Amino acid sequence: MSIQALALLTVTDPDTLGEYRQIAGEALAKHGGKVVAGDPAPTVLEAAFEAPTLAALLSFPSVEAATAWREDPTLEPIHALRNKGGKSTIVVLPG
């Protein structure tokens, strides 16, 4: 059974985030992840913090795989590129 992770981003540098998006899929796939759905202009019904300008639903084989993707030291430059392109919150939904 797979799990999902919700990625909410507030884009601050569209060009840098565009670079990230070109290589993000391969980085996700390294740990069995993939993008299930994405929206460059999500409808926000309620926000306790700054509303995201981009949202993506990710799928991983397990919570451990999602954690391994985020903590993989070989992927740190890719995560750094995402964080340079905007502010992100990624939440695992295990179930």
Domains of the chain (ranges; CATH) run 3-42+50-93 (3.30.70.100)
- pTM for the model: 0.90
- Which regions in the chain score pLDDT beneath 50? none
Per-residue pLDDT reduced to its tens digit, 22-42: 999 999 999 999 999 999 999
Which H, E and C letters describe 6-70, residue by residue?
A: EEEEEECCHHHHHHHHHHHHHHHHCCCCEEEEEECCCCCCCCCCCCCCEEEEEEECCHHHHHHHH
pLDDT of residue 2: 92
Give the pLDDT confidence score for residue 1 in this predicted structure.
80
- pLDDT computed for residue 50 by the predictor: 85
